[in-house]
Amino acid sequence: MRGKSLIPFILGLALLLPLLGPGPYHLSLLNSALVITLLTLSWDLLGGVAGQVSLGQALFLGLGAYGFSLLSTYLPPAGAALATAVVGTAFAAFFGLFASRLEGIFFALFTLCSAEVFHEATMNIPFILKGVEVGGEGGVPCLGGAGILSLRGLVVEYYSLLLFTASVGWFLLRTLRHPVGLKLRGIAENELLARATGLPVERLKFGAFVASGVLGVVAGIFSALHSGRATPSDFSLELSFQAATLSALGGRGTVTGPALTAVAVSYLFGALDVPPQVRLSLYAILLPAILLDLPRKALGLLRGSRTPLSSRQ
């Protein structure tokens, strides 16, 4: 109950933050952190609530970033965002048809490979926009993001991100108490038992995958707006591991914990300018340790080793 009572306070503080004059640099860092938070929430729906551990969540962020950047060349920002969301939903449904039939390590590998295919493709396939060749490592410029370079633009972006991320968090918290959310938790606990009880496991996993993908696509749209371009790094392994690790650190499936952890850690890493190689190494070490519950198991072994022999007997 105490945790729930803190949420309005945290949101109120977040609303007042731009008025405290953080400056363009720190406001930009906060916006980047909110993009990662949105991606983390998208992972938490799939990997936390539904228990399907994805190692390729950056697939959808990249699709959103590239889709919006390409379409913004020919459409106004609102139209480009809507079209990107529609196309992103179609992609999520396509991949979901296969992913919903997989489980465990096979599900994780499928998502990982899917993201890597798009990462390599965007590195090597050029795009022609109005007669100009773009793409490769330089990525695709996003014309819709040209207006957020000013402080005023950053403030508008901040409130837009905050509103959307808070709305997603509220929706996910409601989902946890909804019958659909309870069924997804049942699948997360024991998929075999869920099948035995007659739950439509594939259909529920498909729905969670598509919903998670759409949220990831929206995160990609915001990412392109913020950075002013889409690059192959939007499909990177680091982003996928980052979303999964931050959700796991915050308590996957709890929504609030992953969101707050994502904001804090992402902002801190940005402020400290932690190199990408160091971040990826940390995520690669922490993620399997947390998912396998190694810290608790190690603590249990340590306590067991300190138990006197007489008490064991």
Residue 63, pLDDT above cutoff 60? yes
For residue 60, give every residue at least 6 positions away whose Cβ sits within 8 Å of its Cβ, in sequence order, or none. 42, 88, 91, 92, 212, 213, 214, 215, 216, 217, 219, 220
Confidence of residue 311 (pLDDT cuts 50, 70, 90): very low
Residue 83, pLDDT above cutoff 70? yes
pLDDT at site 19: 85
pLDDT at site 268: 96
Give me the mean pLDDT over the 216-240 stretch. Answer: 95
Domains of the chain: 27-292 (1.10.3470)
Between these two residues, 229 and 298, which has the higher pLDDT value? 229
pLDDT averaged over every residue in the chain: 89
Alpha helix (H) ranges present in 44-125? 58-71, 77-99, 104-124
Burial 235-261 (b: 16+ CB within 10 A, else e): bbbbbbbbbbbbbbbbbbbbbbbbbbb
Residue 149, pLDDT above cutoff 70? no
Give me the mean pLDDT over the 118-143 stretch. Answer: 91
| Token digits of residue 218 | 């929206």
